[in-house]
Amino acid sequence: NGSVFGKDQPIILVLLDITPMMGVLDGVLMELQDCALPLLKDVIATDKEEVAFKDLDVAILVGSMPRRDGMERKDLLKANVKIFKCQGTALEKYAKKSVKVIVVGNPANTNCLTASKSAPSIPKENFSCLTRLDHNRAKAQIALKLGVTSEDVKNVIIWGNHSSTQYPDVNHAKVKLQGKEVGVYEALKDDSWLKGEFITTVQQRGASVIKARKLSSAMSAAKAICDHVRDIWFGTPEGEFVSMG
121/70: higher pLDDT: 121
HSE at residue 222, side-chain half, CA atoms within 13 A, is 3
CATH 3.90.110.10 correct for 132-234: yes
The pTM of this model reads 0.91
210/65: higher pLDDT: 210
Reduced to 3 states (helix: H, G, I; strand: E, B; else coil), residue 62 is coil
pLDDT, tens digit, for every residue of 119-156?
Answer: 999 999 999 999 999 999 999 999 999 999 999 999 99
Euclidean distance between the first and final Cα of the chain, in Å?
26
Where, residue-wise, is CATH 3.90.110.10 in the chain? Answer: 132-234
| DSSP designation for 231 | H
CA distance 101 to 112: 9
Give the per-residue pLDDT at 67. 65
pLDDT, tens digit, for every residue of 175-224?
Answer: 999 999 999 999 999 999 999 999 999 999 999 999 999 988 999 999 99
CA distance 84 to 211: 27
Catalytic residue (one of 135, 162, 172, 228): 162
Task: For the domain made up of 11-129, give the CATH fold.
Answer: Rossmann fold (3.40.50)
* Residues 6+ away with beta carbon under 8 Å from 123: 97
CA distance 92 to 63: 18
Where, residue-wise, is CATH 3.40.50.720 in the chain? Answer: 11-129
pLDDT for 73 beyond 70: no
Q: What pairs with residue 15 in β-bridges?
A: 45
Does the annotation mark 135 as catalytic? no
